[in-house]
Structure 1
């Protein structure tokens, strides 16, 4: 099969990724609002990113009829990580602006950690924490999009075999 015959539908994949990610976060917000005693794991963001990546991979496999090679998975992972980072910064900026709070690093640290007076030491580790989060996001998106594409192709093959 010629892999260059059809290009990866990156815009569609990013729309599916961001739509799924936003829907998951809205669901999380609703659960936390109406069921505040339900415990949520700290890794729920990684789970949402994995589900969103798998959904994007499934949509690409349906469109292309093939899996994604490593280069296309990497391009998607970088684009999805950047898109989710931009979305996160925009959300924080919007929430801060809504409440009239300046968008400063100390206020972001205070909002993320929940401490009324954030430790000055965390600011020195914040770049390393952010780098770690970006690397984890890249890995989750890379493997998630590939896994989603393979699963979708298997499902399409099972459906085609069943229809025979």
Structure 2
């Protein structure tokens, strides 16, 4: 088999097909309509929350999604947290420190110093620790954030876990 036979049928194009992550939405209701029942529990209007979700799932950062919706970045972060997205500005150790502050075991000054967070980030961390995601709202928007999660770790299935080495 020669090179010309191997190359037979190969085309050269000037543009590439767009291969994004597809999501399936089987509901007929708009995102805003699906969030309406949770309006009292959200830190912004359902329309603003829908915009935050849409922009965030398109790949915008939390602050960019908030600006697009006309809300403060911390409001966008709170909204995403209540809808099931992980937005805590602290890791496991910082989480413990914030929980100790909430329990009254640490002063705010000590907790801020130990976490090395600013006031806004510390406030968000405390909010995340004191507010659980709204389960029914998470179910109502199921699939919307799936594309964003997949974009964060596009090669996640190719990475081994520490337990794989044992």
Q: TM-score range by the shorter chain?
A: under 0.3
TM-score normalised per structure 1: 0.25
TM-score normalised per structure 2: 0.24
Report which of the two has the higher share of helix: 1
